[in-house]
């Protein structure tokens, strides 16, 4: 057994026979994990509706995990083509993609998120990928437990799932079961060599800055004295250290949080676009639309329509 350092994490490389895999020992403090946002959006089992069978999906949505019970699916994303067949899972990255299911495809579809407050996903690299269901039997086991939990609660028509009213008990039970699936999935992805983002950071000043950015109101300008709040470190020095650790400056992190807020309300709520703009502190709808379009290349209304047209997929 060989221990190595991978991306700042302690990893153990195991080579049983001719096989090779990594089992990552990924740990962070409870205080840091509490800012992670895991959530199950819905689960569905059945045929693939025409709206999602051959579709282009915009960037900025949530993850999907599809177990192919029949047929196949191909995803084209970032210049890569990934295909899953019967008996395989396809875990789709929530970026812009083209997806095509075979005509008679039947799936279990898990729609979920595992995000940090700025919208950064726990797994930012290595997706989309295919897992063979027989290699990870607990994934299907947890998915079927969840299907039993929502049976009679969520409608069989996946297009209607989004608007289905739930009691707080029903919602929390669904999330409780969903967390079991997400825990097993995270373990499977780590075993496949994917490395979680933003875990393993130990600089207390950067962690303090991160916590402040996570709680800063999305409708207020970011204060310039954030650096001094973060342990008497200069503003420029904080920006350099922050970017090296997290890949973005504090200002970019805050803007990403605001964009994630806009995407979530546009894609998963009926809140009017004008109200979303006001919630983010924009004085006019035109300013909000220009700001959103710079990042996503489409207007807020066009983004909402594309998410709705894609339905549950």
Phi, psi of 49 (to 5 degrees): -70, 150
Q: Among 5-19, 30-44, 178-192, 199-213, which stretch is predicted with the lowest mean pLDDT?
A: 5-19
Query: In angstroms, rounded to a whole number, what is the distance separating the alpha carbons of residues 125 and 14?
Result: 22
C-alpha Rg value of the chain to the nearest Å: 20
pLDDT of residue 159: 66
The Cβ-side half-sphere exposure at 255, using a 13 Å CA radius, reads 10
Residue 194 and residue 125 in contact, taking contact as beta carbons nearer than 8 Å: yes
Homologous superfamily, domain 204-310: Homeodomain-like (1.10.10.60)
CB-based burial, 14-53: b 16+ in 10 Å, e otherwise: eeeeeeeebebebebeeebeebeebebbbbbbebbbeebb
Q: What is the full DSSP assignment across 201-257?
A: ---HHHHHHHHHHHHS-TTSPPPTTHHHHTTS--HHHHHHHHHHHHSS-HHHHHHHH
Kindly report the number of other CB atoms within 10 A of residue 189's CB atom.
Answer: 22
What's the whole-number mean pLDDT along residues 215-242? 76
**Does residue 20 carry a pLDDT above 50?**
no
Question: Per-residue confidence at 56, pLDDT binned at 50, 70, 90?
Answer: confident
Query: In angstroms, rounded to a whole number, what is the distance separating the alpha carbons of residues 300 and 290?
Result: 9
- Residue extents of the structural domains in the chain: 37-191, 204-310
Residues 124-145 have pLDDT tens digits of 889 999 999 999 999 999 999 9
Question: Per-residue confidence at 148, pLDDT binned at 50, 70, 90?
Answer: very high
Kindly report the number of other CB atoms within 10 A of residue 135's CB atom.
Answer: 12
pLDDT of residue 10: 30
pLDDT of residue 308: 73
Omega before residue 197 within 30° of 0, cis: no
Residues 75-120 have pLDDT tens digits of 999 889 999 999 999 999 887 889 999 999 999 999 898 988 888 8
Mean pLDDT for the chain overall: 83
User: How many angstroms separate the most distant Cα atoms in the chain?
Assistant: 64
CATH tag for 37-191 (out of 2.40.160, 2.30.230, 3.30.530, 2.60.120)? 2.60.120
Question: Per-residue confidence at 198, pLDDT binned at 50, 70, 90?
Answer: confident
Question: Per-residue confidence at 24, pLDDT binned at 50, 70, 90?
Answer: very low
Q: Give the torsion through C-alpha atoms of 66, 165, 260, 247, to 10 deg.
A: -50
37-191 matches 204-310 in fold: no
Q: Which two tokens stand for residue 232?
A: 């008497």
Burial class (CB within 10 angstroms; exposed 0-12, middle 13-18, buried 19+) of 199: middle
Residues 228-239 have pLDDT tens digits of 565 556 778 888
Residue 115 sits at the vertex; the CA angle it makes with 247 and 307, to the nearest 5 degrees, is 110
Query: In angstroms, rounded to a whole number, what is the distance separating the alpha carbons of residues 94 and 171?
Result: 23
Residue 57 sits at the vertex; the CA angle it makes with 275 and 123, to the nearest 5 degrees, is 90
**Does residue 223 carry a pLDDT above 70?**
yes
Question: Per-residue confidence at 307, pLDDT binned at 50, 70, 90?
Answer: confident
Find how far residue 37's CA is from the centre of its chain: 9
For the packed helices 250-268 and 204-215, what is the interaxial angle rounded to 10 degrees?
40
For tokens 């039993």, name the residue. Answer: 148
Query: In angstroms, rounded to a whole number, what is the distance separating the alpha carbons of residues 223 and 206?
Result: 16
């Amino acid at each position: 057994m060989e221990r190595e350092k991978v991306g700042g994490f302690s990893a153990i490389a195991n080579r049983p026979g001719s096989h090779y895999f990594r089992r990552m020992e990924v740990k962070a403090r409870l205080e840091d994990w509490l800012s992670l946002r895991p959530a199950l959006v819905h689960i569905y089992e059945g045929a693939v509706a025409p709206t999602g069978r051959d579709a282009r999906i915009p960037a900025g949505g949530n993850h999907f995990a599809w177990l192919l019970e029949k047929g196949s699916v191909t995803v084209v994303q970032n210049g890569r083509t990934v295909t899953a067949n019967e008996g395989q899972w396809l875990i789709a990255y929530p970026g812009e993609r083209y997806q095509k299911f075979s005509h008679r495809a039947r799936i279990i579809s898990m729609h979920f998120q595992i995000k940090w407050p700025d919208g950064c996903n726990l797994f930012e690299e290595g997706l989309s990928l295919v897992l063979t269901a027989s290699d990870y039997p607990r994934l299907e086991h947890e998915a079927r437990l969840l299907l039993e939990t929502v049976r009679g609660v969520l409608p069989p028509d996946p297009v209607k799932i989004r608007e289905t009213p739930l009691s707080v008990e029903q919602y929390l039970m669904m999330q409780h079961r969903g967390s079991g699936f997400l825990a097993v999935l995270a373990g499977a992805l780590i075993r496949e060599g994917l490395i979680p983002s933003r875990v393993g950071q130990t600089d207390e000043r950067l962690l303090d800055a991160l916590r402040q950015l996570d709680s800063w109101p999305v409708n207020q300008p970011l204060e310039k004295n954030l650096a001094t709040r973060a342990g008497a470190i200069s503003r420029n020095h904080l920006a350099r250290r922050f970017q090296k650790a997290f890949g973005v400056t504090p200002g970019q992190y805050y803007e990403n949080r605001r964009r994630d807020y806009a995407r979530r309300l546009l894609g998963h709520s009926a809140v009017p676009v004008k109200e979303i703009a006001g919630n983010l502190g924009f004085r006019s709808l035109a300013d909000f639309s220009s700001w959103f379009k710079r990042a996503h290349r489409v207007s807020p209304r066009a983004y909402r329509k594309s998410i709705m047209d894609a339905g549950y997929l």
